[in-house]
Copies of this chain bind each other. A is one copy, B any other.
Amino acid sequence: MSESDFEAPPIGPDAAGEGAPPGPPPPPENRHDEDDRLKSEFVSEVVDRLHGGDIDGVRSLVEPMHAADIADLFELVGRDDRPPLAAALAGLIDGDVLAEMNDWVRDELIDELSATQVAEIAGELETDDAVAIIEDMEEADQRAVLRALDPDDRAAIEEALSYPEESAGRLMRRDAVAVPEHWTIGQVIDFLRAGEEITTDFWEVFVVDPAHRPVGTCLLSWILRTPRRIAIADVMKREQTLIPVDMDQEEVALRFQKYALISAAVVDQAGRLVGMITADDVVHIIQEEASEDILRLSGAGEDDINEPLPQTVRRRLTWLIVNLGTAVIAAAVVGLFQGTISHLVALAVLMPIVSGMGGNAGTQTMAVAVRALALNQLTSSNSIRVFVREFRIALVNGACLGLLLGIAVSLIFRSTDLGIVIALAMVINNLVAGIFGVLVPVTLEKLRVDPAVSSAVFVTMATDVMGFFSFLGLATLWGLGG
């Protein structure tokens, strides 16, 4: 392993950390903690050397690192330290490092580079990684980089950029290996061995007809396990999962997961092979999409700890103002019952319990429904069944919680009437939570709105409004405030 080739770097005059005597850097196997993250001691060591102007010391620490770890290092140091770190590591930051880097951190770094430098880095990369770097740049910068690329790379990247964002066309590599159907295994092997233009890392060979439409696929392991004289048509698998070039990346990811794919052919509208997508890119997408849903459900949108502050504030504030609107509506419902409350202040004490518990139950149901929708588990075939299921859960939970709270309130406030009212309100609000928790995401999905983005605001509004209304309304009817 290269790590054993690691040598202690020369120690600069200011390289020592707080109070630590100058000495060799920690051995590289100590860079990571048990969870595979860079240790904070290692990060501070790098930062200390950087601040001390010990460029050689920084480089010798970073040089043996994997591209993904160098990318992590940039995310972990402070924002102000990133440009000097990039300067210190000139030559070590290649396309692989940029491809692994958090989008926000990368954009900042790329702003510091010239178009020629970016073009040089993009030129080294596979099309999909180069596109990932270039697609986020501003129009003018993008054009400058494209001009600086060599014509072949430029054509490939421009074509990729012509597909919609987050589509298979952006995600794919264009260097899929294709062979004609009439070849033998021997011919395929000779072609692979001789072909100058063939990419180095691939997992299957696509068999195509004369119009370049895929007719089958052959894993490299099958080729290696078969005698040379056999025809590839006899070895290949004819059924294969084809990815349309304009398919959304989330659907691509679900298809990879569903059919347990390692790589898959991408075809254009005429059914011609135009590229391939590999599982390593999909792993990224799945992680991204699934964790985006967590953020969306909570109203934090596409938030990321590396995003610039003003953008984060704007997005979160917009969402909070929408929520403020629904909170005001809920408060207005309370306002309807001021008379009742002024006669029995205990109602004001107890009402947040009813609304809050409805909110909790609604959030549970909603999260289950949003996840089932995202995984294609919840479809029109079973939505009624799922609805009934959640209704029954809500009934049982509401009855249990209502009973518990009703008895406690009866004892503490010495009022059976108040106990009965809060128990009934709890049952009603749990049913509201169960109904809206399924109905809202399913309806939004039908309307082609992302259920993860806006379900919470509707569900919480329903449980707040109905929590206050049922509790205070029942109390008024029962004559508790009279």
Contacts and interface: CB of A to CB of B under 8 A. Distances in A.
Nearest to A199: B221
Given A203-B203, A224-B193, A298-B363, A357 B327 contact: yes
Given A327-B357, A330-B356, A251 B393 contact: no
Contact of A323 (B68, B348, B357, B375): B357
Contacts of A75: 377, 382
Interface in A198-227: 198-203, 219-227
Contacts of A341: 341, 345, 348
A348 B332 CA distance: 11
B397 A43 contact: no
Interface in A214-262: 219-227, 238-239, 251, 253-262
A186 to B, nearest CB: 12
A44 interface: yes
B389 A299 contact: no
A327 B298 CA distance: 20
B392 A309 contact: yes
A62 to B, nearest CB: 15
Nearest to A238: B1
A368 interface: yes
A416 interface: no
Contacts of A355: 352
Give how many copies assemble into the complex. 2
Contacts of A227: 193
A297 to B, nearest CB: 6
A470 to B, nearest CB: 15
Given A239-B1, A305-B389, A312-B393, A324 B40 contact: no
Contact of A324 (B224, B238, B312, B357): B357
Secondary structure at the A interface, as helix, strand, loop or mixed, is helix
A202 B204 CA distance: 11
Nearest to A353: B327
Nearest to A282: B283
Contacts of A377: 75, 102, 304-306
A238 to B, nearest CB: 6
Nearest to A221: B202
Contacts of A238: 1-2
A367 B456 CA distance: 14
Contacts of A198: 225
Nearest to A354: B327
Interface string A287-327: 10011011101111001111001001100110111011001
Interface string A345-367: 11111111101110011011111
- Of A350, A380, A460, chain B has the most CB atoms within 10 Å of the CB of A380
Interface in A162-205: 189, 192-193, 198-203
A115 B327 CA distance: 57
A93 interface: no
B364 A299 contact: yes
B327 A352 contact: yes
A76 B381 contact: yes
A69 to B, nearest CB: 8
Given A39-B381, A306-B377, A330-B356, 19 more contacts: A40-B380, A68-B258, A76-B382, A77-B381, A100-B260, A193-B225, A200-B225, A203-B203, A220-B224, A260-B281, A295-B367, A300-B367, A303-B364, A303-B367, A313-B393, A320-B364, A331-B350, A341-B345, A351-B352
Interface of A: 1-3, 33, 35-40, 43-44, 66, 68, 72, 75-78, 100, 102, 189, 192-193, 198-203, 219-227, 238-239, 251, 253-262, 278-284, 286-287, 290-291, 293-295, 297-300, 303-306, 309, 312-313, 316-317, 319-321, 323-324, 327-328, 330-331, 334-335, 338, 341-342, 345-353, 355-357, 360-361, 363-372, 374-382, 385-386, 389, 392-393, 396-397, 400-401, 404-405, 408, 460, 464, 468
13 contacts: A35-B251, A198-B225, A199-B221, A223-B224, A262-B262, A262-B279, A294-B370, A299-B363, A312-B393, A313-B396, A338-B348, A342-B342, A348-B351
